[in-house]
């Protein structure tokens, strides 16, 4: 899992700095490439010569090389790395990271880092237990950083041992587990529907809804990032909505009928489908060829039912295939979602309610409840990217 991975190892001024040699040895043994960035205090505990001998790379500590004035680019390091590990991380460095105090090369590298960041705190128990350290660690976690709790591998439930840096093998195992999880969809083909559908009334008007596609796109990126081959069937969304991962094959459609045709054709070759699109249940029975003109009379547009894509895929579903649906509700949320779960033969359904602030259409956040035939799990309001992770974690757990 670590083969070929590029790791920036940040070392700070703690007695546990000597253990970073063991971390480097294990990372390199597993095929990773390691670039050390050390704080001035870190150098009091371990020499750059030892570290550069182990990594076969010059150690970075200052913004400029003393010898030739070369500029060390923290931005490039941030782009180069697959992960940044700060081990040991002192209370001081944790505080600076949480508050953006960029007074050394390690903190500027952290602030420029595009890759996931892992932090292995190391300090005495009182410093670790102090509310300010705990608050800073919580802040860092809320920024999406991974804190490798001291003592999790051996003394998790006891306070004794807390504060002491986690053992090098457990730190490396945490990184390995992270990268393993990243590829847990390798070999899977996943169909995702996203966005609204437009049902034409005439050449200038349609029946539509407020779906932006954000939730569906977040699901597509999450699946592709974890190794799946993704087919994203996408209703009309804004031009700003672009996919990033090369394993996402996007098929644009406009109407529910078009989305149905594509999904029906693709589903047999998929391992799973996640139906996030807000599909219009009805479409005008007849589409006017020319723009309809205003008259003095009431206008009545007769609607016909659209195909129910989810129900059709639910009928087609073979053993081993998984089907996940969404339910966007405004009232009787759980009972409506339960009945859709059964009627459409979903493995589970993701309920979101417009009653919850920050949930549903257009927002960058969502608040969901996952309902399975066995029970339900409620989740907090989170960015849609994080919500996508929760949904895909559940899909993976379904086996």
User: Which of 132, 362, 377, 398 lies at the binding interface for ligand PMT (CB under 6 A)?
Assistant: 362
Q: Per DSSP, what are the bridge partners of residue 377?
A: 370
67 CB neighbour count, 10 Å cutoff: 6
User: Would residue 345 show up in a list of annotated catalytic residues for this protein?
Assistant: no
Q: Is 235 in the site for ligand PMT (CB under 6 A)?
A: no
Q: Does 211 bind ligand PMT (CB under 6 A)?
A: yes
Q: Which stretch binds ligand PMT (CB under 6 A): 19-27, 109-117, 157-165, 269-277?
A: 269-277
How far apart are the C-alpha atoms of 189 and 186, rounded to whole Å? 9
283 burial type by CB count under 10 A (0-12 exposed, 13-18 middle, 19+ buried) = buried
* Least CB distance to ligand PMT at residue 290 (A): 28
Q: In whole angstroms, how close is the CB of 196 to ligand PMT at the nearest point?
A: 7
- The piece of 5-13, 97-105, 119-127, 301-309 that touches ligand PMT (CB under 6 A) is 301-309
Diameter of the chain measured on Cα atoms: 88
Q: Which is nearer to ligand PMT, 214 or 226 (CB)?
A: 214
Q: What DSSP character marks residue 187?
A: T
Per CB under 6 A, the list member of 169, 186, 244, 281 interacting with ligand PMT is 281
Quote the least distance from Cβ 327 to ligand PMT, whole Å. 4
Q: Which of 74, 96, 162, 214 binds ligand PMT (CB under 6 A)?
A: 214
Residue of 136, 145, 170, 209 with catalytic role? 209
How are beta strands 365-366 and 382-383 bridged, if at all? antiparallel
Q: How far apart are CA 194 and CA 219, in angstroms?
A: 9
Q: In the set 14, 104, 108, 306, which binds ligand PMT (CB under 6 A)? A: 306
d(CA 397, CA 310): 21
Q: What is the CA radius of gyration of the chain?
A: 26
276 lies in the binding site for ligand PMT (CB under 6 A): yes
C-beta of residue 250 within 8 angstroms of C-beta of residue 269: no
Residue 278, classed as helix, strand or coil, is strand
Catalytic residues: 209
Interface ranges with ligand PMT (CB under 6 A): 193, 195, 211-216, 256, 275-279, 281, 306, 308-310, 325-328, 340, 344, 352, 360-362
């Amino acid at each position: 899992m670590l083969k070929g991975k590029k790791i920036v190892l940040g070392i700070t001024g703690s007695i546990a700095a000597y253990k970073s040699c063991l971390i480097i040895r294990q990372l390199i043994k597993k095929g990773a490439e390691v670039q050390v960035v050390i704080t001035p205090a870190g150098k009091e505990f371990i020499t750059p010569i030892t570290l550069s001998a182990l990594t076969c790379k010059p150690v970075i500590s200052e913004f400029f090389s003393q010898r030739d004035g070369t500029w060390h680019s923290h931005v490039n390091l941030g782009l180069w790395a697959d992960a940044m590990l700060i081990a040991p991380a002192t209370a001081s460095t944790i505080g600076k990271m949480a508050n953006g105090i960029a007074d050394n090369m390690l903190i500027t590298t952290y602030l420029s880092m595009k890759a996931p960041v892992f932090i292995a705190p190391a300090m005495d128990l009182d410093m670790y237990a102090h509310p300010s350290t705990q608050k800073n660690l919580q802040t860092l976690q809320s920024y999406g950083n991974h804190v490798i709790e001291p003592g999790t591998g051996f003394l998790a439930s006891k306070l004794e041992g807390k504060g002491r840096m986690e053992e090098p093998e457990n730190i490396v195992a945490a990184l390995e587990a992270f990268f393993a999880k990243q590829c847990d969809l390798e070999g899977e083909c996943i169909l995702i529907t996203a966005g609204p559908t437009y049902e034409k009334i005439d050449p200038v008007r349609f029946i539509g809804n407020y779906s932006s596609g954000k939730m569906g796109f977040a699901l597509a990126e999450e699946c592709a990032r974890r190794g799946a081959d993704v087919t994203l069937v996408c209703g009309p969304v804004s031009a700003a909505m672009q996919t990033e991962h090369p394993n996402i094959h996007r098929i644009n459609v406009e109407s529910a009928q078009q989305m149905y045709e594509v999904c029906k054709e693709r589903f047999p070759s998929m391992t799973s489908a996640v139906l996030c699109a807000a599909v219009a249940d009805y479409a005008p029975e007849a589409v006017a060829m020319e723009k309809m003109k205003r008259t003095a009379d009431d206008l009545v547009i007769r609607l016909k039912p659209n195909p129910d894509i989810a129900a059709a895929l639910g009928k087609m579903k073979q053993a081993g295939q998984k089907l996940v649906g969404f339910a966007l509700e405004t009232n009787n949320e759980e009972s409506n979602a339960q009945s859709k779960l059964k009627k459409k033969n979903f493995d589970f359904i993701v309920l979101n309610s417009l009653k919850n602030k920050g949930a549903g259409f257009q927002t960058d956040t969502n608040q969901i409840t996952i309902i399975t035939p066995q029970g339900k799990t409620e989740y907090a309001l989170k960015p849609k990217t994080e919500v996508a992770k929760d949904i895909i974690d559940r899909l993976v757990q379904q086996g």
